[in-house]
Amino acid sequence: MTKGDTEYQLLLEGSTETKEKIKRPNKSLLLAICAACIGGTFQYGYNISIINAPTKSVQNFINHTWLERYDEDISEQYLTLLWSSIVSIFTIGGFVGATIGGTLAIRFGRKGTLMMNNAFALLAALLMGLSYPTGLFELLIVGRFFTGVNAGIGICVQPLYLGEIAPRALRGAMAMGTSIFITGGILTGQVIGLNELLGKEEHWPILLCTTCIPAFLQLLILPWFPESPRYLLIDRGDDVGCRNAMKQLHGTDNFDREREDMERERVSAIGIKPKKPWQLFMDRSLRWQVLTIILLNAAQQLNGINAIYFYTDYVFEEAGIPEVNIPYVTVGTGACECLTALTCGMLIDSLGRKVLIIGGYTLMAFWCICFTLTLTFQGAGLWMPYLSMGCVFAFILSFGLGPGGVTNILTTELFTQTSRPAAYMIGGSVNWLSFFFIGMVFPFIVVGSKCLQPLYLTFK
């Protein structure tokens, strides 16, 4: 095993961090993380879940608009295609955001990119709000695309910012802010989508416009906090700015060890330009790191976790849950993952990354098998639908305890300053393309399974 492979193994297991004494984070550091996350990964989670509540309302709007335009009802298949497009164009926007996020982070800085990124969220809110009064459902597609661009840049740049402002001993726990705010965004979207709030049919344009609120909050709060110290020193050569940022974030002048670590990285990066994504593929010393982020980002989406959030009503309807209870069960799934994200933050530095990833995927596979069995024997008793629901909750818990929390922070830890933005572009692109595949294909799988159900019952 080469030296590079050994360092990679240590990073993956988290052993280099657990040897250091864990200190309490400074209040300023915690507030900076919240300020970065509210307009970053919170938006990502919020816009994943918010689209589920107005499903039928938006479909009725499309059908009504189609009837007014063409004097005929839209076919069910074409309506499914349009709805899938509205849902899945979010992931295409995310892919675009991920491909430009790393470049923007190098040019404008981590904080500067996060601030600029809010323009996409504000534009998306405006377009989606105008779709109903103008009778143009196409504006929903364009608005969701810009929402995706915002989420793609946010989920690329925000973990980069968090990983660079946190002290080494706290990096694992602090970087969990990414997962905590994703799950917090999912839960918030589910709660706001309840009928008691903005879930009624006449409120769906307002519901989709609420994506502007986190953007405004970040524009108000983030300017009070500094740029990434690593970016200031290594990319900009601003030693004074770096020291001031570290003093504000750490709350003390005693940051010599962190400063020495940055200086070593700065010296090693002298004369080396930031790498492009294709250069990482050609660098044999990074082969395992690149392969790791590709596999983990693909698996994070292809395991189907976000299909549950995009199409929660479909999943629980097929599981036999009464329609009146589905919105509240949906909120339960968000609360479930939010709880596990907090738990993972406490376990990540003690158990290590590898244990949580392997253990999480193993449990997810087990609960998928159980869910399949409960759906197959759904008629065995009145309690069977609730057993199916329990399997979905257990699946979400397993994801949040392992892959959901760990995947997002590995890119920061496995790559140096010159290759980190390109690594985030690769991981983000794979993540969003896999996300698009799941979002686009899942509703057709649901329709296909309904068509096959009578045939299944005949042979049964």
In a shared domain, residues 108 and 219 = yes
- Considering only 62-66, 144-148, 341-345, 406-410, which range has the smallest mean pLDDT? 341-345
pLDDT reported for residue 459: 35
For residue 338, give the nearest of 400, 398, 391, 293 by alpha carbon: 400
Is the pLDDT assigned to residue 124 strictly greater than 70? yes
184-193, 215-224, 277-286 — most confident range:
215-224
In a shared domain, residues 323 and 443 = yes
- Considering only 218-222, 323-327, 390-394, 421-425, which range has the smallest mean pLDDT? 323-327
In a shared domain, residues 74 and 177 = yes
Q: State the first-to-last Cα distance of the chain, in angstroms, to the nearest integer.
A: 55
In a shared domain, residues 191 and 309 = no
Give the pair of three-digit tokens for residue 323.
């329609």
The last residue of one of the domains, among 192, 210, 225, is 225
| 251 lies in some domain | no
| 357 lies in some domain | yes
Average pLDDT over the chain reads 79
Is the pLDDT assigned to residue 9 strictly greater than 60? no
Query: Residues 104-124: what's their mean pLDDT?
Result: 92
Is the pLDDT assigned to residue 16 strictly greater than 50? no
The pLDDT tens digits for 67-87 are: 888 888 888 888 888 888 888
Instruction: Report residue 7's pLDDT band, with 50, 70 and 90 as the boundaries.
Output: very low
Task: Tell me which of 247 and 174 has the higher pLDDT.
Answer: 247
In a shared domain, residues 221 and 286 = no
In a shared domain, residues 361 and 424 = yes
Under 8 Å between Cβ of 286 and 280: yes
For residue 245, give the nearest of 258, 254, 232 by alpha carbon: 232
In a shared domain, residues 132 and 59 = yes
Instruction: Report residue 128's pLDDT band, with 50, 70 and 90 as the boundaries.
Output: very high
The last residue of one of the domains, among 225, 242, 263, is 225
| 290 lies in some domain | yes
Task: Tell me which of 225 and 303 has the higher pLDDT.
Answer: 225
Is the pLDDT assigned to residue 326 strictly greater than 90? no
In a shared domain, residues 294 and 171 = no
pTM: 0.78
Total count of domains within the chain: 2
Residue 447's contacts (CB-CB under 8 Å, 6 or more residues apart) are 80
Phi, psi of 228 (to 5 degrees): -60, 125
Instruction: Report residue 269's pLDDT band, with 50, 70 and 90 as the boundaries.
Output: low
Query: Residues 327-345: what's their mean pLDDT?
Result: 76
| 258 lies in some domain | no
Task: Tell me which of 31 and 55 has the higher pLDDT.
Answer: 31
Is the pLDDT assigned to residue 441 strictly greater than 70? yes
In a shared domain, residues 355 and 443 = yes
Give the CATH number for residue 187: 1.20.1250.20
Is the pLDDT assigned to residue 306 strictly greater than 80? no
In a shared domain, residues 280 and 197 = no
Is the pLDDT assigned to residue 452 strictly greater than 50? no
Is the pLDDT assigned to residue 460 strictly greater than 50? no
The last residue of one of the domains, among 197, 225, 253, is 225
Instruction: Report residue 454's pLDDT band, with 50, 70 and 90 as the boundaries.
Output: very low
- Considering only 266-280, 306-320, 376-390, 406-420, which range has the smallest mean pLDDT? 306-320
In a shared domain, residues 295 and 391 = yes
Is the pLDDT assigned to residue 458 strictly greater than 50? no
| 401 lies in some domain | yes
pLDDT reported for residue 171: 67
- Considering only 70-74, 133-137, 228-232, 407-411, which range has the smallest mean pLDDT? 407-411
Distance CA 87, CA 84 (A): 5
Is the pLDDT assigned to residue 246 strictly greater than 50? yes
Task: Tell me which of 85 and 23 has the higher pLDDT.
Answer: 85
Is the pLDDT assigned to residue 275 strictly greater than 90? no
| 358 lies in some domain | yes
Q: What percent of the chain has pLDDT over 70?
A: 81
Domain residue limits at 65: 26-225
pLDDT reported for residue 17: 43
Is the pLDDT assigned to residue 135 strictly greater than 70? yes
- The residue assigned the tokens 């497009």 is 85
In a shared domain, residues 168 and 305 = no
pLDDT reported for residue 14: 47
| 232 lies in some domain | no
Task: Tell me which of 255 and 92 has the higher pLDDT.
Answer: 92
Task: Tell me which of 179 and 175 has the higher pLDDT.
Answer: 179
| 107 lies in some domain | yes
Task: Tell me which of 377 and 94 has the higher pLDDT.
Answer: 94
Is the pLDDT assigned to residue 251 strictly greater than 90? no
Is the pLDDT assigned to residue 324 strictly greater than 80? no
